[in-house]
Structure 1
Amino acid sequence: MKSKILCGAALLALGWNAPALAQERAAGVCYVTGDGEPYEEMLLCYPGDVIIVPGSRAGDVSLGDYTGSATIVAPEQIEQRQIRDIADVLRDVPGVAVSSVAGQTQLRLRGSEANHVLVLVDGIEVSDPFAGEFDIGALQAEIGSRVEVLRGPQSALYGTDSIGGVIAYESGAFSGFGGRIEAGINDTLNGAMRWGMDKGGVRASLSGTIVSTDGEPNARGGTRDIGRDSYTLAGKLAADVTDTLTLRAVARYVLTKGEFNDQDFDPTSPTFGFVVDSPDTRFENEAIYALVGARLKTLDGRWTHDLSVQIADITRDTFGPFGPSNSSEGDRVKASYVSAFRLADEHTLSFAADWERERFRNTTPGGFAFNGRRQIKNTGLVGEYRYDGDRFDLSAALRHDFNDRFADETTFRIGAGYRVTDTTRVRASAGSGIKNPGFFELFGFVDGRFIGNADLQPEKSTSWEIRLDQDLGDAGRLSVTYFNAELEDEIFTTFPAPTFTATPANAATKSKQQGVEVALSASLSPQWSVNAAYSYVDAEENGLAEVRRPESIASAALTWTHPQDKASATLVVRHNGEAVDLAFTDPSFVPVRAVLDDYTLVNLNARVTLAEGINGFGRIENLLDERYEQVFSFVSPGRTAVIGIEARF
């Protein structure tokens, strides 16, 4: 897009500071101070396992002790792959399917729906209360950030929205100044900067990112470039008031502007149902997130109490040739209290209470929809037990939700892990999940185009999995997981005659998901390493494949690093198998099923040290210029290239 913002001062580079508290923890394990809501993430790392921040409401859980399936995308991996949109690195995570169009990027975990994935950003729930899901395309990679992905139902810990799992993004700990700036074809200009400090019991950071491009056409045979500008400003503060009391605050502002194309809904047109160039159509999304909290340690740190309050305020506006076309406002207030008591070195018992209120107002102009404000309230009580032994681990959680609009629900999760040998570990877990209907589904949006259904019931899921982790000496690890899930009361869109107007309903049949996930991480030599993932997902409802869930997804990242770290290069290959989507190409407006062809993307990037603390870098994405569609008739970008510079102080 034409509006560009240049960061005035030199954009500074990556930096990472490990605090002096490391000697309090066991060698071979990375720990994060915190209680399950990432706020004062001080990563204390030695070679070994990595902490799972959202894996327990109680606190520190190492990856080796966790009884479910999780993937950690470390800051080094994000840096090596030169990730700018977090959605891109999630394509390398087993069980994750990503589909993207202008203004909306969706995630599906293990064949679940896009609104079945809970996304936390620095501990804040960021989904849009109207849509019931988060546009992961609006999450840009900050310097030093990392991602944790928990697959399988997590409703016993977090309630609704987490049937498929949880994705937790952490902006990380940072000390000093750092940043980068890059430019490329399609008038692309991306930048990031960050400042951080850790002094006198006070930890603070401030970061900003810019992602801007004029884009490419996304209609078959189209000529209109689809660009976007995305700006993020975020800050974190944590202060140790006493040896036992810590206060913290997190704030984030995100503004995304972009163009999009409409579909042709003229039944007499030869392009009916297809995406076509639509001049002057654009969107603007604005979001404000904040969290404040306090953490108190008692009984020499064995009993912790945490109280937090968070807010999310999201506004979405779309515009057409004649002005505003669709608009919505959504906000969320959530308060949480967590009390965790360590009975002994291996036993932890915790209790959590969550209160949440979501509100929504349809602000679409023209009088075609109800413009009043609606709201939903929920209170959840959680009990959790965890045993972390030398060879055996056990976890169990139970949650009861009190809903003001739906029947109260109870969900559970139980898991166990056993180290068979020093190099082999097996783990198994089972759980249930729930997803309450969203505002869009309950109340509709525009009269005459989508009619809500206030009688909808929550979607319910039960699932189980078994996993094997095999260490490959000191060189790597191979993990294989089988999962099986069943979803009841799935909400789908019907088109009843004679008007064929869209309206949601609960399915009478069950949706079933099963599959296998394989992950490999290995060091081939001191200079070469590889990360690979493969997922097979069989997701069906009433015998038909669920849409936008490829059966096969695979990725591999091969990295070379200079012996003195003066240069590096990474080759990333990603393959998406054939998938099914819905196409509105029938004049009745009842969708028909269309096949999305498989595709393979190849990305190549490199970095070289120019001077102490200063690196030059470049990358080519979609190196082979593959033409593909992630959503029916929306053409994805072709080959792109950028070069840039980063510095660290």
Structure 2
Amino acid sequence: MKPVYRSIFLAAICLPSAAFAQSATEADDPPRDVLIVTGTRSPEPIATDRIGGSVTVIGDEMLNHRQVRTISDVLRDVPGIAVSRVPGQTQVRIRGAEGNHTLVLVDGIEVSDPFAGEFDFGTLIADEAARVEVLRGQQSALYGSDAIGGVIHYRTLSGRDAPGTTVRIEAGSFRTVNAAARLAGAAGALDYALSATLNSTDGTPGARGGTRDLSSDTGSLSAKANWLPSANTRLTAVVRYASAEGEFNDSDNDPASPTFGFQIDTPGNRFENEAIYALLRGELGLLDGRWTHALSGQIADTRRDGFNAAGRSFGSEGQRLKTSYESTLRFGDDRLQHRATVAVDIERERFRNTDPSGFAFTGLRQIDSAGLVGQYELFIADAVSVGASLRRDWNGRFADTTTYRVQGSYRVTPATRLRAAAGSGVKNPSFYEMFGFVDGRFIGNVDLEPERSGGWEIGIEQGLFGDSLLLGATYFENELTGEIFTTFPPPDFIASPANRDTISTQRGVEVFATAQFGEAWRVDGMYTYLHARENGVEEVRRPAHTASLAVDWQASGDRGGVTIVARYNGDAVDVAFIDPSFVPVRVALDDYLLLSVNMRYALSESVELFGRIENALDEEYEDVFSFATPGRSAVIGARARF
């Protein structure tokens, strides 16, 4: 990244208050008390300003104005998050945790691949009406395994919240076509939302110096319905189908080649992934709504297949069956409110390696587990809220575990809020890490133990100028033990995972600023400093500095607008296997700045034209060593609402 770009951008991030101090007193308040469902196991939602931990909500309007098509792109605007994008597996790391340390929910359904133990964010294409809730910090006391780094919950809006019919179509560089459609509404006690997305591209070269364009086709179909047969009863049903097909490259495995260990053009390599997710949930309120109950069942069914020039080369299947019961009793008066919650999770994960080589075990394996959660929340007027959660997990394969989380929030003045949180987390090894097999390249380790984490954070939020400006800062520290990493033991030097006997530490600072002045302008900025070390050595793909700045201008009467987003990713390190000795070599990943310019114009109340330029500075950058990324691109499209 050019030094002049970096200097200008970081200066803009560090000087928001000076610019915003000129805002008029007529400014709209930035949202501070948005209700979310992810921050508690109670069937009742909780306001973000009553949570002691770090929460970010990305609303439907923000997704629309920034023209987000792949959710991983907008996650770069969230403090503490770093994104690594490669074909077939886009990873998100929260506060320096690993990519598989984040619990990912879509409309309340756990969507990580049961076989791989991780979710590919490259497959999550934005629907026309959705929002994203991000909780940072250990959340295992609420959700069990996988939530070491935090939780990301992608939620499509209901037919009652966002009724109508919307159709979107766009096309642009690299022969990219993106389309979405949504039909939603409400009739009496029933509301519904049907949606579809598609993203197709011929792609760009995926290897440094390569010429092979990597095409991909990603899409989804979803249906969501709510039925309220009575004032105190709700039934919710969700079904989602996701499909992703794409091309990928291999690394050069010829020790005599000058590109040994680098990605090289590999014609014929492609993948096909499919997933079906479903949820059925019933809610009942008793004692005038003071005693709520929720019973749910969900399923995630995934299939992955890989191909090379000779035919099918690898594959896997995974299934997760989960049922949960949640009950909350609310008591007290207007000044002092108590919420006591009990939750039970029962889960079965089944997996199968469908490797066609004949060398791997292809039988079905499964792991059963159960978790019991106790949660207490206290709200004192509008000033104080505290909460504590304790979870016990029983696992059919690993040792039983207990995790905790405590948090508190205190509004010192109407404009100043102090908050703090602490907790522990656990991540069980995935099926692939234990039993995975790739002939001559990877062997699983059945003796792996769960990874464990503990951490704390403290933060402050300050409103200024009649709350037209909201500033926030958080300091955090985490410690991870038993980290799973890849070894290359002699004499064959075939990759195999193992638990480290050293400690991984992460600490850092997250800063954000949100300003809304008048109806025309909104500015959002964030900066994160991260210090992530494993036994004193810098951890890979964790940039020390990340930042984002978004400036949004809206014309009067909703006639159109312009949104400019700059996303900075600092220097990082990676490991490369470019030495024939198979000893990993640490390499540098240069910093970069991605600039997106998004424009929209309303032809009428129902038809909107839009366009955008992505990577406007035409940065050449890599999120992962030798994996090339797209250059500058342009897109134009139209949206119709009925």
TM range (shorter): over 0.9
Q: 5 Å matches for 1:123-272?
A: 123-173=108-158, 174-272=162-260
Q: Distance in 2 between matches of 1:284 and 1:166?
A: 27
Query: Match for residue 22 of structure 1?
Result: none
Q: Match for 1:309: what amino acid? A: G
Q: Give the one of 527, 545, 556 matched to 1:552.
A: 545
Matched, 1:421 2:445: no
Q: Distance in 2 between matches of 1:93 and 1:359?
A: 33
Query: Match for residue 464 of structure 1?
Result: 456
Matched, 1:356 2:347: yes
Q: Match for 2:210: what amino acid? A: G
**Residues 8-31 of structure 1, C-alpha deviations (whole Å, 9 max, x = no match):** xxxxxxxxxxxxxxxxxxxxxxxx
Q: Distance in 1 between matches of 2:291 and 2:134?
A: 27
Q: 5 Å matches for 1:439-518?
A: 439-472=431-464, 473-518=466-511
Q: Match for 1:187: what amino acid? A: R
Q: 5 Å matches for 1:2-151?
A: 49-58=33-42, 59-151=44-136
**Residues 266-292 of structure 1, C-alpha deviations (whole Å, 9 max, x = no match):** 111111100111111111100000001
Q: Distance in 1 between matches of 2:303 and 2:123?
A: 13
CA RMSD of aligned residues (A): 1.2
Q: Which moved more, 1:213-222 or 1:378-387?
A: 213-222
Q: Distance in 2 between matches of 1:176 and 1:419?
A: 39
Q: CA deviation at 1:588?
A: 2.4
Q: How many pairs were matched up?
A: 605
Secondary structure of 1:326's counterpart equals strand
Q: CA deviation at 1:149?
A: 0.3
Q: Distance in 2 between matches of 1:524 and 1:578?
A: 34
Query: Match for residue 336 of structure 1?
Result: 324
Q: Distance in 2 between matches of 1:246 and 1:524?
A: 39
Q: CA deviation at 1:548?
A: 0.6
Gaps of 5+ in 1: 1-44
Q: Match for 2:140: what amino acid? A: S
**Residues 42-91 of structure 1, C-alpha deviations (whole Å, 9 max, x = no match):** xxx99652012110001221011111100000111000100000000000
| 8 Å Cα contact 2:565-2:596 kept in structure 1 | yes
Q: Distance in 2 between matches of 1:437 and 1:302?
A: 39
| 4+ residue runs over 6 A deviation | none
Query: Match for residue 9 of structure 2?
Result: none
**Residues 413-471 of structure 1, C-alpha deviations (whole Å, 9 max, x = no match):** 00111111111110011100000111111112224322221111111101000000011
Secondary structure of 2:493's counterpart equals coil
Q: Distance in 2 between matches of 1:290 and 1:317?
A: 22
Q: Which moved more, 1:262-271 or 1:105-114?
A: 262-271
| 8 Å Cα contact 2:458-2:475 kept in structure 1 | yes
Q: Match for 1:413: what amino acid? A: R
Q: 5 Å matches for 1:468-617?
A: 468-472=460-464, 473-617=466-610
| 8 Å Cα contact 2:415-2:467 kept in structure 1 | no
Q: Distance in 2 between matches of 1:179 and 1:603?
A: 23
| 8 Å Cα contact 2:30-2:467 kept in structure 1 | no
Matched, 1:382 2:366: no
Change (3 A) 1:46 1:514: closer
Query: Match for residue 15 of structure 2?
Result: none
Q: CA deviation at 1:155?
A: 0.2
Of all paired residues, the percent bearing the same amino acid is 57
Q: Distance in 1 between matches of 2:72 and 2:360?
A: 33
**Residues 185-239 of structure 1, C-alpha deviations (whole Å, 9 max, x = no match):** 1111111010111121101110000111101111112111111111100001111
Q: CA deviation at 1:350?
A: 0.4
Q: Distance in 2 between matches of 1:149 and 1:483?
A: 16
Q: Distance in 2 between matches of 1:463 and 1:641?
A: 42
Q: Give the one of 242, 245, 265 matched to 1:277.
A: 265
Q: Distance in 2 between matches of 1:60 and 1:329?
A: 34
Q: Distance in 2 between matches of 1:561 and 1:113?
A: 38
Query: Match for residue 33 of structure 1?
Result: none
Matched, 1:298 2:293: no
Q: Which has the higher contact order (CA 8 A, sep 6+)?
A: 2
Q: Distance in 2 between matches of 1:435 and 1:284?
A: 27
Q: Distance in 2 between matches of 1:433 and 1:297?
A: 31
Q: CA deviation at 1:524?
A: 4.2
Q: CA deviation at 1:302?
A: 0.7
| 8 Å Cα contact 2:389-2:405 kept in structure 1 | yes
Q: Match for 1:630: what amino acid? A: D
| 8 Å Cα contact 1:203-1:239 kept in structure 2 | yes
